[in-house]
Structure 1
Amino acid sequence: MNKIHHLLYDYLISVGITDSSAKYMNMIALLLALLIIVFVIDFLIRKLLVNAFNGFAYRSKSNFDNILVKNKVPRNIAHIIPLLIAIEFIPIVFYDFQYIENIIEKGLKVFGIILTLWIARSVLNSIKDYLKTLPRFKDKPIDSYIQVFMIFAWVIGLFSAFAIISGISFWKFVTTLGAASAVIILVFRDTILGFVASIQVSINDMVRIGDWITFEKYGADGDVTEINLATVKVQNFDKTITTIPTYALISDSFKNWRGMTASGGRRIKRSIILKATSVHYLSEEHVEKLKNIELISNYLTDRQKDINTYNQSKNIDKTLLINGRNLTNLGVFRKYIQSYIEIHSAINKEMTIMTRQLAPTSQGIPLEIYAFSSDKRWENYEYIMSDIFDHMLAAVPYFDLELFELSSGNSLA
C-alpha cells in the first residue's frame, strides 16, 4: 500500500526533485489517475444501467420503467459506485496532505448525501408520474405528499451535511437545533399549514384535480389543475391561472361544482318578471282561443269542464268573472311553460321540473323556471337555457301578459 501512496515519489526523489515538490507532484499524478478511473467507471456504469433499463422498459408491458428512465433514476444510481471508489482512494491520493484529505473527504460525503437526495427525488417523481396515469389516483394530491417527504429528506440531509462539516455527531447537532425550534416553525409555517391542509383535503375529499371550484376571495373560477403542498392552481375560464394557498381550502369558504358535474344535470334557475296589471281572468271566448295552443288544449278542455261543473252546482252568478272558480291568463301561461319544459329534449326528466310563481315585487310578478339540463357543458347549458327563455319571452303576448321593463329616457319624453 505504501508503494501506491508514493507511486512517483521515490522516483522523483531519485532524480533530484526536492521532497516538497515530489510530494505535490506525486499527489497530482495520483489525483489525475483517480479522476480518470472514476470518470471512466462512471461512464461505463451509466451506459450499462441506462441501456439495461431501456431494454427492460422496451420489453415490459408496464410504463413504470419508461418513467424511471425519463426521470433519470438509472443515471443517478450509476454515480454511486464511482463515488464509493473516490471516497476509498482519497486517503491514498492525499496521504501526505492530511488537511486537504479531510476537506475532500467531507466534501465527497456531503456530495453522497446530495446524490442520495437526487435519487430519492427521481424515484419519488417516477412514482408520482406513474400514479397519475392510474384512474383511482389521477385526481389525488400526490404532489403534496411527495413534497412533504422531500422537505423532510432535505432537512435531514442538510442536518447531516452540517454535522459532517462541523464534525459534530448528527444527534448532537439536531439537539442543539432544538432550541431554535420556534424559529424553524416560523420559517416553515406555510409548509406546515399546507401539509396539514393537504391531508384534510385528501381525507375529506374536498377538492380533486379536475374539479371546478369558485373561490371569490381569490378571484378563482375554473378547473383545479394542480394541488401542491403550499398552493392550489386553478385555470380560470378565461385561461388565466389563479394560485390559492392550500390551507385556504380549509380556512375559507369556497364552492365546489363537483356535485353538479357528477349529477344527472345542471340546474336552470331563472325567472322573468310580468306586469301585475296584465294579469286577469279568462273569458269563455279567450279560453276557446287558447285551446288552439296544442300543449295546453287538453288541459284547458278538462279544466274548463271541471270549473263549469263546480260553478253550476253552486249556482254561481257568472255575469262577473270574479265570482266562482276561474282560469287566469297567468295560471294558464304557467301551465303552458311547465308543459313546454317537461317535453323539452334537453331537460333531464328524472330531476326536478318546476315552473313557479315567486312573491310579487315592486317591479311585478316573477315567474321562475327550476329544472336541470341534461348537458352540463357550459356552452351547451347556456344555449339550452337561452333557447327556453327565447320561447318563453315570445309566448308571453299570446296570453295577454306583459313583461316588466324600465322606461327609457326617450319613452318619457
Structure 2
Amino acid sequence: MPSGGPSAGAPGGVGGELLRTLTLRDAVGVGLGAMLGAGVFAVWGPATRAAGPAVLVAVLLAGAVATCNALSSAALAARYPAAGGAYVYGRERLGPLWGYLAGWTFVVGKTASCAAMAMTAAAYLAPGREKVAAVVAVVAVTALNLAGVQRSAGVTRVVVGIVLATLLGVLVAAGLPGAPTGGTVPLTVGDDVLGLLQGAGLFFFAFAGYARIATLGEEVRDPGRTIPRAVVVSLTVVLAVYLLLAVGLLRGLGVDAVAGSSAPVADLAAASLPGPGETVVRVVAGLAALGALLNLLLGISRTTVAMARDGHLPRVWATLSGPRRVPRTAELVVGAVLLVVVLLADLRGAIAFSSFGVLLYYAVANASALTLRWQWRGAPWVPALGLAGCLTLALALPGPAVAGGLAVLALGLVGYALTRRRDAAG
C-alpha cells in the first residue's frame, strides 16, 4: 500500500507551490459558501418528491454521511495539505489509480454542479433569459477567480452572511404566531426505503461543499490545525441551518407543497413575509448560487492542477501565474468547458448526476482514511460508515444518473489506461 509522511503529495512540477494566504475565517467562509449555495434553495423539491414524509430523516441521513466524510477528509487534509483533496489522498494511501478516479469523479461531478449553479442563479435573477445570464455568470466568476483566491474568499464571506441572515429571517417570520401553516413535521422512515435513500442521496448535493476546504489545502495557513477546525465548524453550522429550514418548510408549506415546488424557500417567504419578502429571497438565492459557483470553480481548478502535475492532464495546466501564483491556465480551461456545458447540456438531472460523482469521490476519501489507523482510536467506524454510506446513497440515486455516472467512470478508466501506456512508451 502506498504511503507517505506529512510531506507526501507535496506540490511539485510546473510552477511550484501555491501561496498560503487563507486563515481559519477564510476557510470556514469557503466551506459555508460552497454548502449554503443553490443547493439550499433548489434541492428541497426533488429530495422531498423522492423521500416523501421521510424527508426530515433523509436530511439527517445525508448529514450523518457528510459528517463521516468531513471527519475523514479533515484527518487526511491535515496529513496531506496539498491541492487536490481526495485525489491526493487516494494516490498516497491507496495507489495512483484510486487517486486518479477520485480526481476524475470530482471534476466531472462538480462540473455538472457548476452548470446547475449557473442555471439556478440565472433562473432566479433573470427569468426568461437563463442561457445568456448563465454565460455571463460563468464569465464573471471565472474572472474573479483569476484575480486570486484571497479575493474570492472575501467575496464568499459577504455572500454567506447575506444568505444566513435571509434564511434566519424567513424562519423567524414563519415561526411567529399567526404565520400560515401547511401541516405537521413528520419524523418517520415509512415503508419506501429506496425513496428515503434516494432522497438522502439527492440532498447530499446540498452538503457537498466542505471538501472545498481540503482541495484548497495548499493555500491554507497552518493546515494541520486550520483545516480540521474549518471543516467541523462549517459542517455544524450548515447542518443546523438545514434542519431548521426543513422544519420551517414542512410546517409552513406541508410535504406535498414542498415536493411540488421549484422554489419552496421563496414560497415560504411569500407566505410568511408580506410585501417584498419573496423578491428578496429570489435575489439572495441568485447571489448564493453565484457564491457556490465561485467556490466550485476554485475546487475544480485546484484538482485539475494536482492531476496535471502528475501527468494525467496536460502539464501546462499546472502553471501558476502572477505574484499571487494563481493557476490561471486551469481556471480558463475549466471556465471554457463549463461554458460549453451550460450552452448545450440538458441539466434536469444535474443534481443526481453530480451527487453520484461526488459520493464516489468521498468513497475514495473514506477508503483512504481507513488506512490511517492511528487516527481512529476509539472511533474506527467513522471512515467505514462513511464509505458504506457513500456507496449506498450513490447506488440508490435515480437509474439514469447511476447509468450515466458509471459510463463516465468507465471513460475515465480508459483515459487512465491510455496515459499509463503513453508514460510507459516514453
| Structure 2 length-normalised TM | 0.18
Kindly indicate which of the two structures has a greater share of residues assigned to strand: 1
Kindly indicate which of the two structures has a greater share of residues assigned to helix: 2
User: If you compute each CA radius of gyration, which structure gives the higher value, 1 or 2?
Assistant: 1
